[in-house]
């Protein structure tokens, strides 16, 4: 069964550094999403992406964040200058024509 994959599984970075989280969505999906989950808290929507542009974003998704689909298979989330409060699990998801979003296993980001 096709699945969403994410790399790395765990990323440790120092405050102020840039990180890029990578996702490979399901191949025939056209809608892509990033979510984050701070330890013990809700899963929160960050951004959705369709037709090579951002379709929606939340208040969390400020100028420090950007997304890109650099080629036909990858979907990336970049955090320009990480802060301690960016430490969280980051989930990528993709969706086809139906309502169901398929989530990847997540990348645990630790900012020290």
Among 42, 52, 53, 71, binds other proteins (CB under 8 A): 42
Range 3-22, binding other proteins (CB under 8 A) = 4
Binds other proteins (CB under 8 A): choice among 11, 24, 29, 43: 43
Q: Shortest CA distance to 109 belongs to which of 92, 79, 84, 89?
A: 89
Q: Which is nearer to other proteins, 36 or 87 (CB)?
A: 36
Reference 71, options 10, 22, 36, 18; nearest CA is: 22
Q: Supply 106's token pair.
A: 């997540």
Question: Is 56 one of the binding residues for other proteins (CB under 8 A)?
Answer: yes
Decide whether 34 or 86 has the Cβ nearer to other proteins: 34
Q: Which of 91, 76, 72, 92 is nearest to 28 (CA)?
A: 72
| Residue 9: CB minimum distance to other proteins, A | 8
Stretch of 14-22, 63-71, 74-82, 88-96 contacting other proteins, by CB under 8 A: 88-96
Q: What is the dihedral of CA 106, 22, 92, 80, to 10 degrees?
A: 100
DSSP 37-56: E-TTS-EEEEEEEETTEEEE
How many residues form the binding site for other proteins (CB under 8 A)? Answer: 21
Residue numbers at the binding site for other proteins (CB under 8 A): 4, 33, 41-45, 48, 55-56, 91, 93, 95, 99-106
């Amino acid at each position: 069964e096709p699945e969403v994959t994410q790399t790395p599984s765990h990323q440790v970075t120092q405050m102020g550094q840039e990180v890029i989280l990578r996702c490979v969505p399901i191949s025939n999906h056209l809608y892509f999403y990033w979510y984050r989950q701070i330890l013990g808290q809700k899963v929160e929507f960050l951004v959705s992406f369709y037709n090579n542009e951002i379709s929606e974003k939340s208040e969390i998704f400020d100028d420090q964040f950007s997304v890109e689909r650099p080629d036909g298979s990858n979907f990336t989330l970049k955090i320009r200058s990480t802060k301690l409060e960016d430490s969280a699990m980051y989930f990528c998801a993709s969706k086809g024509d139906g309502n169901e979003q398929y989530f990847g296993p997540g990348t645990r980001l630790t900012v020290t």
